[in-house]
Amino acid sequence: LDRMPVVAMTANALSGEAERCLASGMDAYLSKPMNIPELSTILLASLRNAPRRTEMPYENLAAICGGDLEKVAALLKVFIESTHGDLAALDQALAAHERKGVRQLAHRMVPAFSQLNDAEPVAALSALETLAAGKAEDAHDAIASAATVVRQRVRGGQSRALHFMESHGVSN
């Protein structure tokens, strides 16, 4: 989103209050008592109608590379190769029930996805790192489930990077 929509919620249901809120820049108005279906409708409409930011994929990386998209694509190639190796090592650590290794691998992968502004893998990796760092003896199933989500999110990130590379003429 280019900016977060603002919804006014007030106990003041006087005539003209909605107009005053909208005139001051609010995106929508809701008076108390709050009605959940109405709130939901207003929030969904506000988000749907909000202007979207049109940023270039891998904007941070492009800035580091001086806008040279071929360099960005070349770095993404290294990223894909590295994360393939990290996923293989993660699978080995999981199979061996090495929680410390799982935690370290998850921790190591976060900065790469953070630099790419890829929030889904970052969230999944952070959750896996937290679970693996915990002391609960019966956390193996939770760690395995979190690792499944990590694999999906990491592969999604790799796929997006690969698509960018292909669209900029860098071969896998």
pLDDT attached to residue 95: 95
- pTM equals 0.64
Instruction: Express each pLDDT in 129-147 by its tens digit.
Output: 999 998 877 788 889 989 9
Tokens encoding 148: 């499944």
pLDDT of amino acid 8: 85
- How many residues belong to the chain? 172
For residues 119 and 96, what is the distance between their CA atoms, to the nearest angstrom?
Answer: 28
